[in-house]
Structure 1
Amino acid sequence: NMTDSSLLNTELELEQQEELYQQLLLQTMGKLQTESSDSKSIRPQPGMCVKTFTEPGKEKVFINICQSSSVPPPPELSREELVDLLQSEDPSGYRVPMSLGEPHTEVDNSSQSCTAYDVVINQDFFQKCQEDALFQQFVILVSAEGLENKYKLELSRDWKVLKNRKFLGSVSEQNIRTKSRPTIQVLQPQYINSCDFRPKFRLLVEPPTGHPENLVAEIHLPGVPSSRSLLLDVGEDRLVLTARPSLFHLDVFHPFLVDQDNTAAQFNNQTQILTVTMPVVSS
């Protein structure tokens, strides 16, 4: 009888895991469909042109940093806070909303072929960068890192802002988000006290050193009877969990891009811990 009971529990747990995973996929698909309506086409204004090159190939790359009032501004950041941020171990805790355009081939002043990328940031924030060289270097840095992550590039940090050129090529329209994402929450690998129905959770990187392969979320859900009560939504850099009926709610942004299609979730009925394993695409 004990064996039969164990088998039944195992089968039930597998069914619950499969149901939870199906919910995850459906929620993710719904999120992607919703996001498509949160964008619009704009024609940005030229701002500044930055010259750099790829590593190790030394191919010329130009970054056109453009401006538009349609791009949401980043959270308020003082110069002192920026200095502290740049000196911290993980400056990715501050996000600058931006639109990263597709690469386009252009011709430089030497009549040589080169690649240009268009990056659009908020107009007011761009003006702040024009007034302060520290903010200007910061926005160039986050633009370069954004392009590196999106297009699997490695760009030299020995860049140069062109004095007599605000744009290389011709300004084209871009599709941008019309809704701003919150600042990334930089989470330490330790449990955080729950409050206002926020469950205890932790985010772990596997392996702990070197290139991250998986981001693992462990979420403690006391009182949740089974995975049937859970709705899980995994975005490319966001995890949203709701435990019905209104037991817990968790909405977390993290500094990684993850593979939504190959994300897996498992709920342990005994420990009441939900484990979500998300393969990391880039950080």
Structure 2
Amino acid sequence: MTTTTDGSLLSTEVNEEDALYEQLLLQAAKEMQSQVPTTQESKQIRPQPGFCVKTKMSGIEKVFVNICRSDQIPPPPDLSEEGLVTLLESEDPTGYRIPMSLGEPHAEVDNSGNGCTAYDIVINSKFYNKIQKNKLFMEFFMTIGFEGLENKYNLELSREWRMLKNRKFLGCIAEQNIRTKSRPVIQELDSSTPASASCSNPLISEVESTCVEPEYTIAAEPADGHPSFLVAEISLPKADSAGLLLLDLGEDRIVLWARPDLYHLDIYIPYNIVPEESGSQFNRNTRVLTITMPVQPA
């Protein structure tokens, strides 16, 4: 699927992509296992999307992992490629820690319309740039990240993974409360909890999400046979301007966010459309977004 993300699709008040991405987001997280003292300070982060990888669990079930970035996550110690090689060849590599936040699993729908599970891993923005440029660091990080998810959620993930070319993330990325705490190999960033727990165990406090799927209709013109174009009408009664919206059209998919946590829509279209020739208009009076999408010939 070829995806086009273009702010010009919205006719009024469209902000820059990154500014919109930063405020779109909430997902539920749950309190995990052992807990840490209530005196621990916490803060909220709004991760930005980075890339999404596809793997499998137990060799069958598809799993997607969203690798996200935030300046609020501490960077790991600076390490050269030669230093990483030495570390990997050593008998005890636990002296090098990668701070990361491991999000709760969330149910999503893949490109084929089938159910799947997605996880979010948030890392420091500079370290994110580093793994993008260095294959060895990328492989090292993905191994550590997968091990972190396996240990936290009792999973068994395949080490064969593929980065999606046209998708920065799957689903709705969460805004999280985090704290900074030293961990062996993986440093987990957790939030405050009762004082009875051990400080060495991971914790993510619950963050409620009010992001809901809006009502919508899609009409084909002409109604009979292969259509020339599709018209989608999406009802967004809580959105009062187009500046709250981010629209992403792929050849067979509509993805829409309304920030900060109003709506999220990700639907499959049974025809191949032409994203670059599509257009949309948000009516402030009716709070309806209308999207017109030319359909590729059969």
The TM-score, its normalising length taken from structure 1, stands at: 0.52
The aligned counterpart of 1:205 is none
Q: Paired residue for 1:44, among 47, 50, 63?
A: 47
8 Å contact from structure 1 (residues 69, 122) kept in 2: yes
Instruction: From the superposition, tell whether residues 180 and 75 of structure 1 become closer, same or farther in structure 2 (CA, over 3 Å).
Output: farther
1:174 shift after superposition: 1.5
Give the distance between the partners of 1:82 and 1:142, measured in 2 at CA. 13
Letter in 1 for 2:37: L
The aligned counterpart of 1:188 is none
Give the distance between the partners of 1:169 and 1:122, measured in 2 at CA. 21
Provide structure 1 residue ranges, at least 5 long, that are not aligned to the other structure: 1-27, 185-232, 238-256, 258-283
Give the distance between the partners of 2:61 and 2:90, measured in 1 at CA. 31
Give the distance between the partners of 1:136 and 1:101, measured in 2 at CA. 19
Say whether residues 1:126 and 2:90 are aligned partners. no
**After superposition, where does 1:30-41 map in structure 2 within 5 Å?**
32-35=37-40, 37=41, 39-41=42-44
The aligned counterpart of 2:85 is 83
The aligned counterpart of 1:94 is 96
Give the distance between the partners of 2:74 and 2:57, measured in 1 at CA. 29
8 Å contact from structure 2 (residues 183, 200) kept in 1: no
Instruction: From the superposition, tell whether residues 93 and 113 of structure 1 become closer, same or farther in structure 2 (CA, over 3 Å).
Output: same
Percent of aligned pairs with the same residue?
58
The aligned counterpart of 1:156 is 158
* CA RMSD, 1 decimal: 2.3
State the structure with bigger RCO (CA 8 A, min sep 6), 1 or 2.
2
Larger Rg: 1
Say whether residues 1:235 and 2:237 are aligned partners. no
Give the distance between the partners of 1:139 and 1:96, measured in 2 at CA. 8
Give the distance between the partners of 2:84 and 2:77, measured in 1 at CA. 12
The aligned counterpart of 2:178 is 176
Query: How many aligned residue pairs are there?
Result: 158
1:182 shift after superposition: 7.0
SS at match of 2:146: helix
1:92 shift after superposition: 3.2
Give the distance between the partners of 1:52 and 1:183, measured in 2 at CA. 25
Give the distance between the partners of 1:182 and 1:149, measured in 2 at CA. 13
1:40 shift after superposition: 1.4
8 Å contact from structure 2 (residues 94, 184) kept in 1: no
8 Å contact from structure 1 (residues 107, 113) kept in 2: yes
Instruction: From the superposition, tell whether residues 88 and 142 of structure 1 become closer, same or farther in structure 2 (CA, over 3 Å).
Output: same
1:234 shift after superposition: 5.4
8 Å contact from structure 2 (residues 54, 161) kept in 1: yes
Letter in 2 for 1:236: S
1:137 shift after superposition: 1.3
Say whether residues 1:53 and 2:59 are aligned partners. no
The TM-score, its normalising length taken from structure 2, stands at: 0.49
Compare the two structures and name the one with the higher helix fraction. Answer: 1
Moved over 4 A (4+): none
Give the distance between the partners of 2:92 and 2:149, measured in 1 at CA. 18
Q: Paired residue for 1:67, among 66, 69, 75?
A: 69
Give the distance between the partners of 1:181 and 1:174, measured in 2 at CA. 18
Letter in 1 for 2:166: N
The aligned counterpart of 2:107 is 105
**After superposition, where does 1:156-235 map in structure 2 within 5 Å?**
156-177=158-179, 179-181=180-182, 235=199
1:60 shift after superposition: 0.8
